[in-house]
Structure 1
Amino acid sequence: MVEFLVAVGLAVAVFVGFNIGGSSTGVAFGPGVGSRIVRKGTAAALFTLFALLGAWTVGRNVIDTMSSEIVAAAAFSPEASVGVLFFTGTALLISNLYGVPASTSMTAVGSIVGLGLATGTLNSALMFTVLSAWIISPLISLFAGALFGRYLYPHLNAKLAFGRLQSPLVKVDQGKLLPRLKINKNAASRDLIGSTLVITIACYMGFSAGASNAANAVAPLVGNGALDASPAILLAVGAMSLGAFTIARRTLDTVGSDITDMPILASLIVSTVGATIITLLSWLGIPASLAVSTTSCIIGLGWGRLSRARTLVEIITPTTEGTSAPAASASGIAAADADSDTETPVNPTVGELAEGEIPDPEEQQAPEDAIPAIGEETPMAAGSLFDSAATARIVVLWVLTPSMAVAGSYLLFSFLI
């Protein structure tokens, strides 16, 4: 019976890793594939490589926390391990059904917390630290996005331009015995620099995804001794790689509404901020959500970009009747990038690059002295500070899915153990 439960645990772990790989690859490499910098197969290979690097290094700290520190390792019986992984897989299903980037990490921790409450082994001091990080990290991401959008984004936008490559920047040469990466030598220097930026940050996101998410698939199995850390990491990344080469193809096609409507420069900022926060937390051994951090940065960046139409004094002062603050969203960022006369974005979105509708990058750059000062830009949108309905739905599911995992896990293990 024990051997059967271990086998079931391994199968569920592979299922969880498979889904993590499918979703994480699309988030990390969607901009690169959409703008023809890399092919899907190359994106999957690069994601696998950097996810393994992240999981093998700082990811071990997260595995240690989730396998033996939130609750005692002895609490992870074969039955408990299967239950925890089941609730983690359920979270992925809920997020896919509702189209909301729910946190696998937060739900996996919630399942472990339910186990700890049922068995009386929960480390309350550590959980207070983890919960504090879950509150503070999105706020930091939101604040960083707002600062970038309000003060730095227009100047970066004036310096950088991105075009759509006619052939991939990076591809795999399979003409020899061992496949190897080849660089497109015909790419213009500006495209080469911009494309290198996109792919470098995508690899960084892959590293961050491996560091934070490998533990979600295998921590219970490490806790009960079914696997040591190193084989567990290989199992998790192998499952994530399978998802990257299969179901991620659809994710890479659709990219997602937030990223598709977002300018390449904005996606680079969001990816860098989100991945940096999660990598630092993973190094500290704190499981946290890349989806939550990046989404918070999107909201902050959109608000910051559109808030340039008003000075700080005007923002603080209550708006007069009939007026309101600018709306902040991915499409709002793209709108704010548009030239007021031509309505052509200085910096193209991923979706526009994928459709091949972008003019020559040489024509897209704005001179530095043409950037309007804060308070002088024309508001590009009106309404609430952000899309309240969409934001409410996202925040509710961020709170609801781990809460459901805690409650369900507690009830299950109260009767089972």
Structure 2
Amino acid sequence: MLTYIAITIGLLLAMNIGGSGAAATMGPAYGSGAIAGKKTALFLVAIGVFLGAAAGSGEVVKTIGKGIVHGDILTIEVVIVILSAATLTLFFANYIGIPLSTSEVAVGAIAGAGIAFRSLYLDRLILIVFFWIAIPAAAFLLGYLLEKLKSLIDRSWPGASKAAQRWKKQLILLLIITGFMEAVSAGMNNAANAVGPLIGAGILEERTGIWLGGSFLAFGAVILGGKVIETNGKKITRLSLIQGSTVSFIGASLVILASLWGFPVPLTQITTSAILGVGTAEKGARLFQKNIIIRILKVWIVSPVMALVISYSLILIVLKPNPYILAVIISVFISTVGCISLYRSIRKERDTFYDQGGGV
């Protein structure tokens, strides 16, 4: 019975990953108008992620399954807790339409279990976190530099832009191809986040788990990815066909390399960082003033910690009951909520004071 529960939660997680992460891969193509229909873009994502999962997710599966915590702690009960923590966090992100890093959530949930059982490969976790920072930074830098190079070419050869217009059909095709490549890279990297713990615990055989994970990743992209593709494609910055191709190529290349090395990386951070790099080169730092970017950055920071805390708390409540630790967790939660509420009250009171002419 527990085996079926674990598999069900894992496949639900795969659907949420498809909606949150994989759907963002076709954001540039959709946002630039290369693909007019949202459903068309999502169906292309579905095909790409399935192919990527089936063909190239093996190394990341090994990392997620047995590379972060000792394999002997991955009982069915622990796997259920890990997958539940990750699923709850991703469902919240999908609900508000934020392109959340599924790798951060999955790794955070696994790390929470490792901390609870004092069975964590800390050096491996630190290396993964380093890649979480370095690869999006590289994506931002590449996006910035390539956009600056494009601007330099436009200034040096004024006819370049007009020439590009004659190649519009070819540019549309290029953008769709690079977006599809990025969807393939999503399948390679993200399917493991859902089925890696199941495979690591021996609940599913590797090939069966990968095919199931890829299938449900694709299904989730189609039915849950609408808000995320809208956010990544149109609410951060508008992209031309060349800019969209640049973003997708950067994202696909970096994620495929990371997948071949076996590192679960934040796909949506990489894509969004490339978009920000292009937008910053074109419009300057004022792009960062947009509320949607601030919201994304907040969720990126909170998501792995939230998944870790949920996973750790569930283990201490359900599997290793410890009233003292539970009391600490509840106290931290109450104090955090209280501090946020107090901050909002003070800020509201101060704004009211100034609105009424106080302090002038």
TM-score (norm 2): 0.78
Partner of 1:131: 129
C-alpha offsets along residues 49-80 of structure 1, whole Å, 9 cap, x if unaligned?
A: 33233223431111100101111222111111
Partner of 2:348: none
Partner of 2:249: 272
Partner SS, residue 261 of structure 1 = coil
Partner of 1:151: 149
Partner SS, residue 213 of structure 2 = helix
Partner of 2:116: 118
**In 2, Cα distance between the equivalents of 1:259 and 1:219?**
32
TM-superposed deviation, 1:89? 1.3
1:126–1:160 distance in 2 versus 1, CA, 3 Å: farther
In structure 2, which of residues 167, 175, 179 is the aligned counterpart of residue 190 of structure 1? 167
C-alpha offsets along residues 329-363 of structure 1, whole Å, 9 cap, x if unaligned?
A: 3xxxxxxxxxxxxxxxxxxxxxxxxxxxxxxxxxx
TM-superposed deviation, 1:300? 1.9
Partner of 1:204: 181
Q: Structure 1 unaligned runs (5+)?
A: 163-188, 307-325, 330-385
TM-superposed deviation, 1:242? 1.8
Question: Is the 1:25–1:43 contact (alpha carbons within 8 Å) kept by the matching residues of 2?
Answer: no
Counterpart of 1:10, as a letter, is: I
The answer to which of 407-416 and 131-140 deviates more is 407-416
Partner of 1:354: none
CA RMSD in angstroms, aligned pairs only: 2.7
1:160–1:62 distance in 2 versus 1, CA, 3 Å: farther
**In 2, Cα distance between the equivalents of 1:300 and 1:405?**
28
TM-superposed deviation, 1:96? 2.5
In structure 1, which of residues 18, 24, 32 is the aligned counterpart of residue 15 of structure 2? 18
1:194–1:110 distance in 2 versus 1, CA, 3 Å: same
Q: Structure 2 unaligned runs (5+)?
A: 155-159, 321-360
**In 2, Cα distance between the equivalents of 1:117 and 1:277?**
30
TM-superposed deviation, 1:289? 0.7
Partner of 2:328: none
1:228–1:112 distance in 2 versus 1, CA, 3 Å: same
Question: Is the 1:160–1:194 contact (alpha carbons within 8 Å) kept by the matching residues of 2?
Answer: no
**In 2, Cα distance between the equivalents of 1:133 and 1:51?**
22
1:253–1:129 distance in 2 versus 1, CA, 3 Å: closer
Partner of 1:93: 91
**In 1, Cα distance between the equivalents of 2:162 and 2:4?**
54
Partner of 1:232: 209
Partner of 1:412: 314
Partner SS, residue 150 of structure 1 = helix
C-alpha offsets along residues 232-252 of structure 1, whole Å, 9 cap, x if unaligned?
A: 111111112222443446766
**In 2, Cα distance between the equivalents of 1:245 and 1:411?**
32
Partner SS, residue 214 of structure 2 = helix
The answer to which of 275-284 and 257-266 deviates more is 257-266
Counterpart of 1:242, as a letter, is: F
* Structure of higher RCO (CA pairs closer than 8 Å, 6+ residues apart): 2
TM-superposed deviation, 1:109? 0.1
Partner SS, residue 226 of structure 1 = coil
* 2:73 is the alignment partner of 1:75: yes
Question: Is the 1:66–1:219 contact (alpha carbons within 8 Å) kept by the matching residues of 2?
Answer: yes
1:243–1:161 distance in 2 versus 1, CA, 3 Å: farther
Question: Is the 1:26–1:248 contact (alpha carbons within 8 Å) kept by the matching residues of 2?
Answer: yes
The answer to which of 99-108 and 391-400 deviates more is 391-400
Question: Is the 2:16–2:94 contact (alpha carbons within 8 Å) kept by the matching residues of 1?
Answer: no
Partner of 1:394: 296
The answer to which of 91-100 and 136-145 deviates more is 91-100
Question: Is the 2:175–2:248 contact (alpha carbons within 8 Å) kept by the matching residues of 1?
Answer: no
**In 1, Cα distance between the equivalents of 2:200 and 2:281?**
44
Partner of 1:56: 54
TM-score (norm 1): 0.68
**In 1, Cα distance between the equivalents of 2:129 and 2:29?**
34
Partner of 1:7: 4
**In 2, Cα distance between the equivalents of 1:31 and 1:70?**
33
C-alpha offsets along residues 180-217 of structure 1, whole Å, 9 cap, x if unaligned?
A: xxxxxxxxx83431222012111101111101110111
C-alpha offsets along residues 37-57 of structure 1, whole Å, 9 cap, x if unaligned?
A: 586666455433332332234
1:86–1:271 distance in 2 versus 1, CA, 3 Å: same
C-alpha offsets along residues 359-415 of structure 1, whole Å, 9 cap, x if unaligned?
A: xxxxxxxxxxxxxxxxxxxxxxxxxxx217544432222111101111221222234
Partner of 1:373: none
The answer to which of 289-298 and 20-29 deviates more is 20-29
Give identity over the alignment, percent: 31
**In 1, Cα distance between the equivalents of 2:7 and 2:187?**
18
